[in-house]
Amino acid sequence: MSGKSSILPDDQVFADFKKQCLSTENWLNKYDKNDMQVWIEQPNPSNRVGNNYPKVHKIKCKMMIKDVPAATMYDVLHDGEYRKKWDPNMLESYDIAKLSDNADVGYYSWLCPKPIKNRDVVTLRSWKVTDDEYIIVNFSVKHPKYPPVSHLVRAVSIQTGYYIKATGPKSCMFIYLSQADPKGALPKWVVNKASQVLAPRVMKSVHRAGQNYLQWKQENSPSLKPWLYPEQSTLPMMNPAQLSVQRADSLENVDEMSKVDALDGEDSS
């Protein structure tokens, strides 16, 4: 890769992400029922800083889908218009610019349970498709025109993505993997416990969205799929060199500790 496009993921990034998705080594199972499993990554001693491990778990969810093709699930993840229909947590979501035929930069904000402040994120998303595999990965970036705003907490996606593999004409293996820091000053247990509880709910929502997508798409620009046909994209082009990786430690922590004191008393595991 050239220096200008070095922020864009290359084939090795996709290969490493796939390897993480399929690996079982150093992963602890936290949920296993109804064709769905949730794992958290076990702390690696080499990642230790002083006496501490990284604050936020890496979480992985796997769902065996028996009634939706892999290609349809992939379309669901890309289709921003459809997401407005099925994602109840979304406040606002839009694509900002195109970086290449398989990469863009976008904005997403979402509702958090009161009294916690709502979050937003700016991410670089890229994707790769082979015969029976679909991979989407994203990570947080700094965009000069989209700085953090006062009424939302800017979260950080360290690495988040999806791996989808066809297992039949109308079935697939669907894996979601994420390491994200919601920022603020939430206790570690709140962040990690919430992710383990919410992940299966989100997966079920995505599955339902997949079941209903084909009917919806038939009535809403059925031939428009710029993630498959780059020439359809109407996004402005942007030089990737204008973006930089957003590090969690460069964002201010908003004090939310007092807001979760009541929760902390209920469960401090």
**Residue 147 tokens, joined:** 């700085």
β-strand partners of 103? 100, 126
Whether 32 is covered by a domain: the verdict is yes
The confidence score (pLDDT) of residue 269 equals 33
As a whole number, mean pLDDT of residues 79-91 equals: 93
CATH number of the domain within which 38 lies? 3.30.530.20
Whether 1 is covered by a domain: the verdict is no
Provide the domain limits for residue 227: 11-245
Whether 2 is covered by a domain: the verdict is no
Number of domains forming the structure of the chain: 1
Whether 257 is covered by a domain: the verdict is no
β-strand partners of 100? 103
Whether 196 is covered by a domain: the verdict is yes
Whether 121 is covered by a domain: the verdict is yes
Does residue 42 or residue 78 have the better pLDDT? Answer: 78
pLDDT at 226 over 50: yes
Q: Give the residue carrying structure tokens 């979601």.
A: 176
Whether 262 is covered by a domain: the verdict is no
Whether 4 is covered by a domain: the verdict is no
Least confident residue range of 32-46, 112-126, 159-173, 196-210:
32-46
pLDDT in tens, 42-76: 876 665 555 555 567 789 999 999 999 999 999 99
Residue 167 is which amino acid? T
pLDDT at 186 over 80: no
Least confident residue range of 13-27, 105-119, 162-176:
105-119
